[in-house]
Amino acid sequence: MKKLLFDLLDWIYKKKCYCCGSSKESVPICSNCYNTLDFNPPRVDRIILNTDIYVAGQYDKSMQKIIRGLKYHNKKELAYYQAKLMFDYFQTLNINKNFQVVPVPLHKSREKKRHYNHMELVADEFCKMSGFVKNTDLIKRIKQTKPQYKLSKIQRMDNLNGAFEVYKEKSRQLPILLIDDICTSGATFESIIEEFHKNEITDITCFATSSPCS
């Protein structure tokens, strides 16, 4: 009788894959969906202000579900999977540096509304995997900006003008790995790089989880 009760509870509370709904593995993202992720070749995606920008994969199918689930739907357990796919890709790049990982900051009002910064959660998991240190004190978003996806490249840069402030004294004196979830035009990275350069910080690598499919 007790066994039947435990079996019933296991069936009721078994985790379903957020992407396909399968409960076969009882995990937030099943191995089948993870294996369908479209990774990019191990190369520099683009260069912005003499800074290498890397992008792990394409923003489609399971990738989109993972990013949106974490970012907008409070599915915090997906931070591990977003970090894992970034780390799996990062290992193919053969970059031999000991980084301080800097997640792109949210404005305090937006973070208060969401109750968390999704990229800080990803940074936590990524640092566990890589052994790097997280630094959320080096740069802050001091201006509340409009959502970027509705804007042109020129509008995006104007939207981000004066949005960030660097606190150089908070640096860990290590190269910076600046991470974000989506890199479209690269305007967010560009704006932050400019602020770092104003503060004579130039050893920067940018790394995004995905970019929209071309």
pLDDT at 48 over 90: yes
How far is it, in rounded angstroms, from Cα 84 to Cα 66? 11
- The residue with greater pLDDT, 78 or 109, is 78
What is the number of domains present in the chain?
Answer: 2
pLDDT at 26: 85
* Domain co-membership, 48 together with 6: no
Residue 23: φ, ψ to 5°: -110, 10
pLDDT at 67: 95
How far is it, in rounded angstroms, from Cα 35 to Cα 85? 10
How far is it, in rounded angstroms, from Cα 79 to Cα 63? 12
Furthest CA-CA distance within the chain? 69
Residue 150, domain CATH? 3.40.50
> In the numeric block, which tokens belong to residue 90?
């990062």
* Domain co-membership, 41 together with 136: yes
pLDDT at 175: 98
* Domain co-membership, 20 together with 51: no
CA 46 vs. chain centroid, Å, equals 17
Show the domain range for 83.
37-211
pLDDT at 5: 47
* Domain co-membership, 31 together with 91: no
What is the distance in angstroms between the CA of the first residue and the CA of the last residue of the chain? 57
Write the pLDDT tens digit of every residue in 157-193: 666 777 799 999 999 999 999 999 999 989 999 999 9
* Domain co-membership, 127 together with 202: yes
pLDDT at 120 over 60: yes
Write the pLDDT tens digit of every residue in 105-118: 988 888 788 889 99
* Domain co-membership, 32 together with 44: no
pLDDT at 14: 66
How far is it, in rounded angstroms, from Cα 139 to Cα 4? 54
Write the pLDDT tens digit of every residue in 5-41: 444 444 445 688 999 988 888 899 999 999 999 899 9
Write the pLDDT tens digit of every residue in 142-157: 877 656 666 666 776 6
Residues 52-81, mean pLDDT to the nearest whole number: 94
